[in-house]
Amino acid sequence: MKKRILRRFTDSGRKMNRNNGIFCAEQVQFVVCTAIHNIDGRRTLVLYVYPKDEVLSGNLIPRWTVFQTRDEYLALCKDEKGTRWQTCMFDDLNKEYHLSNKCAFYASSDEQRVVRFCKMPEKKGFSCLYALQYRIFLKRHQERKEKSERQIQKRMKTVGSLPRDIRAFIHRETLPHYIFYDYRKGKAPMSGHCTACGHDVEITGVKHNQKGICPCCEKPVTFKSQGRRGRIIDRSTTQVIQRSGEHEVVIRIVKAYATYPKGEEPTVSVYENARLFLTWEGGRLVKSEPFYYCYNLGRLTPWHKGSRPVFTRWQYNFEADECGYLYHRNLDAALKDTPWQYAALKEYYLGDPTPLCADMYLKQYLSYPMLEYLVKLRLYRLATYVVYGEDGRYYYGNQVLNSAGKNVAEVLGVGKRYLPFLQEVNPGAKQLMLIKALLRENVQPDMELMKWCSEFGVGEEETVAVPLRFMTPHKLMRYATDQFAAHKKVAPFSGGYYSMSYLMSDYKDYLCMSEALDYDMKSDFVLFPKDLKEAHDRVNDLSDAELSAAYDRKIAKQFAQLQSRYQFEKNGLMIIPPGSAKEIVAEGQKLHHCVGRYVKDVVKSKCIILFIRQVKTPRKPYCTLELKNGAVVQARIEGNAAPPPKVQQFIETWKQKVLYASEDAA
Sign of the Cα torsion 541, 543, 546, 552 reads positive
* Cβ 43 vs Cβ 65: under 8 Å: no
- Note whether residue 319 is domain-resident: yes
Average pLDDT over residues 384-404: 75
Please report, for residues 173, 238, 253, 259, 645, the alpha-carbon distance to residue 325 in angstroms, rounded to integers and kept in the order given. 8, 5, 10, 19, 54
Question: Residue 550 above 90 pLDDT?
Answer: no
Q: Give me the count of residues in the chain.
A: 666
| Cα atoms found within 13 Å of the Cα of residue 27, Cβ hemisphere only | 5
Q: What is the rounded average pLDDT of the residues 472-494?
A: 88
Q: Is residue 415 domain-resident?
A: no
- What is the secondary structure of 106-135 as a DSSP string? SSHHHHHHHHHHHT-TTS-HHHHHHHHHHH
Contact status, residue 483 vs residue 500, Cβ threshold 8 Å: no
- Looking at residue 138, what is its pLDDT? 95
For 265-303, what is each residue's pLDDT tens digit?
889 999 999 999 999 998 889 999 999 999 887 889 999
Q: How confident is the model at residue 257 (pLDDT cuts 50, 70, 90)?
A: very high
Tell me what pLDDT residue 403 has.
84
| Residues paired with residue 42 on neighbouring β-strands, in sequence order | 39
* Residue 36 resides in a domain: yes
How many CA atoms lie within 13 Å of 247's alpha carbon, on the beta-carbon side?
Answer: 10
Of the candidates 272, 295, 326, which is a domain's last residue?
326
CATH of the domain at 603: 3.40.630.30
Q: 251 near 240, Cβ under 8 Å?
A: yes
Inside any domain, residue 364: no
Q: Output the CA–CA distances (angstroms, integers) from residue 469 to 298, 451, 463, 472, 521, in the order listed.
A: 73, 19, 11, 8, 10
Which of 343-347, 545-549, 636-640 is the most confident on average?
Answer: 343-347
Q: Are 626 and 482 within one domain?
A: no
Mean pLDDT of the region 584-600: 84
What is residue 396's predicted lDDT score, i.e. its pLDDT? Answer: 59
Residue 190, beta-bridge partner list: 203
According to the model, what pLDDT value does residue 260 have?
Answer: 94
> Of all residues in the chain, what percent carry a pLDDT higher than 70?
97
Question: Mean pLDDT throughout 144-155?
Answer: 94
| Among 369, 394, 382, 475, CA closest to 435 | 382
Alpha-helical segments (H) within 157-226? 166-169
3-state secondary structure of 559: helix
Q: Among 308, 326, 344, identify where a domain stops.
A: 326
Are 193 and 310 contained in the same domain?
yes
Q: Looking at the structure, do residues 521 and 579 belong to the same domain, yes or no?
A: no
Asked if residue 436 is part of any domain, the answer here is no
> What's this model's pTM, rounded to 2 decimal places?
0.74
**Cβ atoms of 385 and 400 closer than 8 Å:** yes
341 part of a folded domain: no
**What pLDDT shows up at residue 666?**
47
Over residues 23-51, mean pLDDT: 93
Which residues are CB-neighbours of 432 under 8 A, at least 6 positions away? Answer: 382, 400, 401, 412, 413, 422
pLDDT of residue 144: 93
Contact 554, 512 (CB under 8 A): yes
Residue 277 lies in a domain: yes
Residue 544 binned pLDDT confidence (cut-offs 50, 70, 90): low
The reply to whether 206 and 252 lie within a common domain is yes
Cα–Cα distance, 83 to 64 (Å, whole number): 10
What are the backbone angles phi and psi of residue 428, rounded to the nearest 5°? -90, -170
The per-residue pLDDT for range 111-128, each reduced to its tens digit, is: 999 999 999 988 888 999
pLDDT at 543: 55
212: β partners: 221
- Mean pLDDT, the chain, rounded, equals 89
171 and 295 in a common domain? yes
| CA 176 – CA 9 distance, rounded (Å) | 73
Same domain, 537 and 579: no
* Range of lowest pLDDT (231-245, 532-546, 572-586): 532-546
Average pLDDT, stretch 381-403? 76
C-alpha distances in Å from residue 287, one per residue of 159, 177, 280, 337, 422: 17, 39, 7, 18, 36
What is the Cα–Cα distance from 655 to 473, expressed in whole angstroms? 30
| Domain termination site, one of 282, 308, 326 | 326
Same domain, 486 and 603: no
pLDDT at position 597, please?
79
**What is the mean predicted confidence (pLDDT) over 450-459?**
88
pLDDT given at position 334: 95
Q: Supply the range of the domain harboring residue 618.
A: 558-665
Strand bridging mode 232-245 / 248-260: antiparallel
294 touches 308 (CB < 8 A): yes
Q: Are residues 181 and 116 in the same domain?
A: no
d(CA 391, CA 206): 37
CA–CA separation, 588 and 530 (whole Å):
40
Which whole number is the average pLDDT over 585-614?
86
To which H or E segment does residue 12 belong? none
pLDDT in tens, 65-115: 999 999 999 999 999 889 999 999 999 998 778 899 999 999 999 999 999
Residue 649 per-residue DSSP state: H
One domain, residues 536 and 640: no
Q: Cα(666)–Cα(437) distance, rounded to whole angstroms?
A: 11
Mean pLDDT across the stretch 363-384? 92
| Interval 378-399 mean pLDDT | 77
Q: Under 8 Å CB-to-CB from 434, ≥6 apart: which residues?
A: 427, 445, 450, 453, 458, 459, 460, 461, 464
Task: Sort residue 414 into left (φ over 0), alpha (ψ -120 to 50) or beta.
Answer: beta
What is the C-alpha to C-alpha distance for residues 112 and 124, in angstroms, rounded to an integer?
8
| Span 575-589, average pLDDT | 87
* Domain presence at residue 500: yes
Judge if 246 and 102 occupy the same domain: no
Contact 431, 422 (CB under 8 A): no
Would you say residue 41 has pLDDT above 50? yes
Q: What is the CA radius of gyration of the chain?
A: 38
Write the CA distances from 200 to 7, 178, 219, 361, 460, integer angstroms.
84, 12, 14, 41, 52
Q: What is the tally of structural domains in the chain? A: 4
> Does one domain contain both 537 and 495?
yes
The 10s digit of each residue's pLDDT in 412-433 is: 888 888 999 999 999 888 889 8
Residue at 413: amino acid letter: G
**8-state DSSP, 395:** B
pLDDT at position 280:
94
Q: Is the pLDDT reported for residue 362 higher than 60?
A: yes
Pair 132, 185 in one domain: no
- Alpha carbons 310 and 299: distance in angstroms, whole number: 21
The winner for highest mean pLDDT among 412-416, 550-554, 574-578 is: 574-578
Report whether pLDDT(613) > 90: yes
